[in-house]
Amino acid sequence: MRILVVGAGKVGRTLAEHLAGEEHDVSIVDKDEKVIDECNDRLDVMCIHGNGANAQTLIDAGVSKADVLIAATAGDEVNMLCCLIGKRLGARYAIARIRDPQYNESLMLLQQELGIDMAINPERATALEISRLLRFPFASNIESFAKGLVEMVEFRAQENDPVVGIPLKHLLNRHSHLPRVLYAAVERDGRVSIPMGDFIIRAGDRVFVTGDIVTITSYFKAMGKNTTSVKHVMIIGGGKISYYLSKMIVPTGIHVTLIEKNPEKAAILSEELPHVNVLCGDGTSTELLKQESLGDMDALVCLTDRDEENIMAGLFATRTGVPKVIVKNNRQFFSDLFPDMGLDSIVSPKQITSSNILRYVRARIGGQGTRVEKLHRILNGKAEALEFAVRKDDSFTGIPLMNLKMKNNTLVAVIVRKGKVIVPFGKDTIEAGDSVVILSCEPGISDLSEVFVK
């Protein structure tokens, strides 16, 4: 596909890199000449210097032949104008990053009038992910599929966990009280693998298990994991993510203390969030955190604009004994260091945004196959979980999974049939109308037929 990315910031560059890696024909536009020079040096894409909201720039960039136009500049209005012009000039699909809460209520109208096929709000999407982590504090990461019927949950294995030190195929015999879930993926020493029956989980492994909500909840209770609810949350940083997150969790009964060091911003948030305890101060100050009883909090969420400050505040909270610590980080460089620091719940608006857009792009790749409905990039982008809706004429339907040859490093994680969640084994089949969740360590799958090798 021909894809034009306007805006070479964190999101734009990440998208361009991933899309080029999936062998799309990618061009990127930015009005900052220095940024374009950096992209030329680092990315295998066509780089164009110019204003993406200018019709002539878009024409020069080949927008008339673009299958997808992605507007990801720092300005919502620029992105909307870019999509409007781009669609008029011939772009097939247009995606806009729209972040300002003021546009939320009229978003559908804006999409219709401006020809925007998809609007993505990184901050709201990130807040939604954080809210899920706060509802399940025992988990490092949670992804949902099949309209919420299926959950894929990540946890770090501990020495005393009953699943440690036993081959997976013997688990049910040794621990019959454990509900039956699928062990979808394991990361150990930076390497991700899809475990087979002989695989032995070790302490320190990052483990992804999959099942329906009731089974997953019962599984973690049987494991002895902490499933107590979060009632008191401290948020450091008063940006858009904090605003959206507070709006989401306060109605659920969670008491929120929000610390913002900018006096003007703190005053505005205090007015907009009347049920939140907004404080003006430096949230990275250990003295302030102690003064505001950080040790009594059920969770700390670090959402400042500086990744380093989030990491340091998160480390202090972990050592203080806060049960749940969530840290915002957009730098891939830091990702592999977090497990050694004791920080497991990391959210990246950049990665969340790129995953949502990649899913949309893959779902529109040419062809008539069974295409991606949902996509989550997990384990720092080292694996992908994809959801497909099976069609009646797919060639692999009705055949036991043990008789289907699958692409290397892929797994059928879950089958959902008429509202029933099936953890599949060799004799199970995929049928028309099913929702199927595939886990793959190989990126770029856009069609379910690519999973099965003839």
- List, for residues 149-170, the tens digit of each pLDDT value: 888 899 889 999 999 999 999 9
Q: Angle 115-119-121 (CA atoms, 0-180°, nearest 5)?
A: 155
Query: What CATH number does domain 369-450 carry, 3.20.20.120, 3.30.110.40, 2.40.160.40, 3.30.70.1450?
Result: 3.30.70.1450
Query: What Cα–Cα distance (Å) separates residue 433 from each residue in 397, 416, 418?
Result: 10, 9, 8
Q: Tell me the pLDDT of the chain (454 aa) as tens digits.
A: 899 999 999 889 989 998 898 889 999 999 999 999 999 999 999 999 999 999 999 999 999 999 999 999 999 999 999 999 999 999 999 999 998 888 877 888 888 888 899 999 989 989 988 998 898 787 888 888 877 788 889 988 999 999 999 999 999 899 988 998 999 999 998 889 999 889 999 999 999 999 888 888 889 888 888 666 899 999 999 999 999 999 999 998 999 999 999 999 999 999 999 999 999 999 989 999 999 999 999 999 999 999 899 999 999 999 999 999 999 998 766 666 676 676 878 898 888 888 888 878 877 765 555 667 777 778 777 888 888 888 888 888 999 999 999 888 898 988 999 888 898 888 999 999 998 999 998 877 878 888 887 6
Query: Treating both helix axes as pointing N-terminal to C-terminal, what angle do 10-21 and 349-362 enclose, rounded to 10 degrees?
Result: 40
Residue 44 burial (C-beta neighbours within 10 Å; 0-12, 13-18, 19+): exposed
Query: Which ranges in the chain are annotated with CATH 3.40.50.720?
Result: 2-120, 232-322
246: helix, strand or coil? helix
- List, for residues 343-393, the tens digit of each pLDDT value: 878 898 888 888 888 878 877 765 555 667 777 778 777 888 888 888 888
Architecture of the domain made up of 232-322: 3-Layer(aba) Sandwich (3.40)
Q: What is the pLDDT of residue 266?
A: 96
Give the homologous superfamily in CATH for domain 128-223: Regulator of K+ conductance, C-terminal domain (3.30.70.1450)
DSSP 63: G
User: Which residue do the tokens 């250990």 mark?
Assistant: 286
Whole-angstrom distance, CA of residue 133 vs CA of residue 386: 20
Which pTM was predicted? 0.76
Query: Which ranges in the chain are annotated with CATH 3.30.70.1450?
Result: 128-223, 369-450
> What is the dotted CATH code of the domain comprising 2-120?
3.40.50.720
